[in-house]
Structure 1
Amino acid sequence: MSHRTQDVGQLPASYRHNRPLLSGVSQAEARQPGKAPHFSVNWVVGTADVEVIDATTGRRSCGRSSRLCKHRLSARWVRLYGKLSTRIPRHGDTPSMYCEAKLGARTYQAVKQQLCKAFQKAGLGTWVRKPPEQDQFLL
């Protein structure tokens, strides 16, 4: 995929076009999605616990949300952003909803547009959009 988006163009300094070296399929037998596990596992450096997520619900076995879900990650971002001494505090500086924060990331939005245009130019189709209500939650 990364080689088919060669025309992504010049990106801002904080972004880069990753081109991972991927080998071909090591088995001649095709992947059978029905055999995929119904769970995923994640861990964080510096913690002893492993988080097992039910792939059908996106939640842990105890019913709590994952530490990797959008809501928990964005809550951490808001806490960190509030601690930055280099930012210029303004009224309404910190967005109250996730969708506002995402739209407010202007450089990210511009780079995403560049990538979408590169996909279309390469004949890879259009960016699949999620339902907007998925991003409409309070931070």
Structure 2
Amino acid sequence: MSCSDKMARWNVVGLQGSLLTYFTEPVYFSSIILGSLYHADHLSRAMYQRLAQIERLPPSFTLNRPLLSGISNTEARQPGKAPGFSVNWTVGDQGLEVINGNTGKDDGGGPSRLCKKALYVRWMDLHSKLSSNLRIQTLKPGSYHEAKQAAVEYHEAKQATLFRAFHKAGLGSWVSKPVEQDQFSLSNQSGAGPQSFPGDWL
């Protein structure tokens, strides 16, 4: 799956992922600015035109068409191998966290504070505090996978319409990740299955 494919998906289902649709409507790009090699026709095709025949999206979802632009002073392209690590930090954190891009783990071999389990802990806390005001009313999910699957409209937008549109446009089938990586619950302290994946959050 290329970066443009993922961004095209975001222009249908939003940036927020399935779990955050419990709390908010889909969040879409208002604009996309490309730093180099900008070509208006190519970028618009990659972002939304190839999905123009998408149909029957659930309420609140749409085919988003953000403003596309390049920068006035085009950067010279500098090809090279991407670094094998990533860095994250948010307000309130005591410091930067450096993550191995191949394993999704920190310097000591432990899971990232942004791994699925860590984010699911925070999501469950929000879910319990805001249960009466959720957009999706459901029983307390038993596992991360169950929580994601309960976002029915999100999955309808992703599976029944977006994936069908890719296939109809002759762009092939979307490659899905193994479902086993989401089959864990917070009571499962032994860690049934992997829970930390590089670049794979909510």
Distance 1:93 1:134 in 2: 22
Match of 2:101 in 1: 55
Higher relative contact order (CA 8 A, sep 6+): 2
CA distance in 1, matches of 2:97, 2:59: 35
1:78 lines up with 2:124 in the alignment = yes
Give the distance between the partners of 1:85 and 1:77, measured in 2 at CA: 11
- Taking structure 1 as the reference length, the TM-score comes to 0.78
Give CA-to-partner distance per residue, 1:45-99, whole Å, 9 cap, x none.
Answer: 34352221111110111222112211111121111101115259xxx81111111
Aligned length: 132
In structure 2, the CA distance between the partners of 1:123 and 1:37, relative to structure 1 (3 Å rule), is same
Q: Which residue type is aligned with residue 91 of structure 2?
A: V
Query: Cα RMSD over matched residues?
Result: 2.7
Judged with a 3 Å threshold, the aligned counterparts in structure 2 of structure 1 residues 22 and 38 are, in CA distance, closer, same or farther, namely farther
Other-structure match for 1:8: 54
TM normalised by structure 2 equals 0.56
% identical aligned pairs: 46
- Equivalent of 2:142 in 83, 88, 96: 96
Extract unaligned runs of 5+ from structure 1: none
Q: Distance in 2 between matches of 1:16 and 1:107?
A: 12
